[in-house]
Amino acid sequence: MTTTGGAAFFDLDRTLLAGASGEVFSRVMREAGLVNRSLPGEAMLYKLFNTIGETLPSMAIARQGANLAKGRPRKLVQQAAESAAESLAAMVQPLAAPLFAEHRAAGRPVVLATTTPYDLVKPFADRLGLDDVVATRYGVNDDGTYDGTLDGPFVWSAGKLAAVREWATLHNIDMAESFAYSDSFYDTPLLAAVGNPFVVNPDPRMVLMAAARRWPTINLSAPTTSDAVDGDTTPVAASSGAGANMDLQRLALTFVHPVFFPFAKFHIEGTERIPSHGPAIIVGNHRSYFDPAAIGVAIARTERTVRFLGKKEVFDAPVIGQLAALMGGIRVDRGTGSDEPLQAAADALAKGDLVAMMPQGTIPRGEAFYEPILKGRWGAARLAALTGAPVIPIGLWGTEKVWPRSARLPNVLNVVTPPTVTVTVGDAVPLAYEDVAADTVEIMRAIMNLLPEESRVARRPTEAEIAAALPAGYKGDQYKEATRRPGED
């Protein structure tokens, strides 16, 4: 196989297949006498995988596969894999075949790229007529038994990218011309390395990553009438339109949970102070574009949903902006001076919704970020006076470690030592509803009282701290930032 163009790389579980291949492999291995019984909780683990995709614990177990296979005859495993191929082929999603055909017509090899051991998936790939397989390989003794080692990389996350790159170099494949398809957040390195990444059936974290990277999300299951656009039922067409947005919204609302943000460790207090029903205005300090996610995680504990009222730039921000919009966010374009966003928020409160906003209006920049006195705009106080809804303060701390102001994206790969994000919910702020400026001061004071003591100590930040609190590529005079905000609107 020699080519000077690209290739198409497909993940296996939850991408080509609708669910997990592990159940099939487990069954055929038992039938072949290679394992004696199911693992405790095996069915539950597969159900969890089918729902949320790969997790670090599940992949830690997968890494032990070579050691667990030690001493088993390779030939028997290959025979078991042959018997699994038919069952796996029946699980392939309906629109995979036409996608294969499209790539082949363009002269691209179609390659299975999976963590699953090579000896298990090769018969399946052959049955589908795929051009090659990039997969985890186990070492083999001279007597044909597995020796308990890996022969090459563990083909997962960065290891999968390394294996694919090695294959591409060997076959003269241009990664910039290549396509990659996966559901998994952990395949981010591979998708980022090709010129044409596509997300299929994304796990909750991949929803965030796809939004951040503007990667298209496609559906390889059978299209419905509502999925099709102008009669086109290709996977790309099925990924667009209101139906896809509704699916993404449900997913975002369902999986706002700390387990799906492994790059942050949450410490949350006081959620019982959020009303269990009826309207409320949630107000928090603004330290990072990750703030809406932190507030969302806290509010999710109450089993309520929330609509975010925020400036246009927040909705344009990678990851959080698109999710906030899909969750019914209310966009504010400050340049227009329009009261329409405020009225939309009032309408939402009249329906009994929660509305969240950051009264500061923007993340303070440079030295202003470290000022102990928080300055707010009048919007929250105006909304409270207009509706009579209670104002619930939230103090946020540590979100800037997850997504610094100086970074274009959050550090989603820091899952080993994630920073702690503290979310503290306070009692409703008593307001006079007579003077929006005075009420704004009370709102900001209530938020400040929820922050750690160190936030209230005036100090001069270091140059590194100042740089971290400036936008990427900032060209202005950061010393003027303290007087630039907050304004009144």
pLDDT 10s digits, 436-473: 999 999 999 999 999 999 999 999 999 999 999 898 87
Q: Does the pLDDT value for residue 240 go beyond 80?
A: no
Q: Does the pLDDT value for residue 428 go beyond 90?
A: yes
Q: Alpha-carbon distance 56 to 157, whole Å?
A: 11
Q: Does the pLDDT value for residue 236 go beyond 60?
A: no
State the average pLDDT for the chain.
Answer: 82
What domains can you pick out in the chain, each with its CATH number?
A: 8-249 (3.40.50.1000), 256-484 (3.40.1130.10)
Residues in the chain: 489
The top-scoring range by mean pLDDT among 70-74, 250-254, 485-489 is 70-74
Q: Alpha-carbon distance 181 to 196, whole Å?
A: 9
Q: Alpha-carbon distance 73 to 86, whole Å?
A: 22
For residue 306, the model assigns a pLDDT of 84
Rg over CA atoms, the chain = 26
Angle between helices 118-128 and 74-90 (to 10 degrees): 40
For the residues 117-136, what does the mean pLDDT come to?
97
For residue 319, the model assigns a pLDDT of 55
**pTM given for the model:** 0.52
For the residues 399-424, what does the mean pLDDT come to?
89
In whole angstroms, how far apart are CA 211 and each of 36, 199, 206, 246, 450?
44, 10, 8, 15, 31
For residue 322, the model assigns a pLDDT of 54
Neighbours of 218 (CB within 10 A): 21
For residue 327, the model assigns a pLDDT of 60
For residue 194, the model assigns a pLDDT of 96
Burial of 199 (0-12, 13-18, 19+ CB in 10 A): buried
Task: Give the angle 416-418-421 at the CA atoms, nearest 5°.
Answer: 160
For the residues 283-308, what does the mean pLDDT come to?
89
Q: Alpha-carbon distance 476 to 461, whole Å?
A: 18
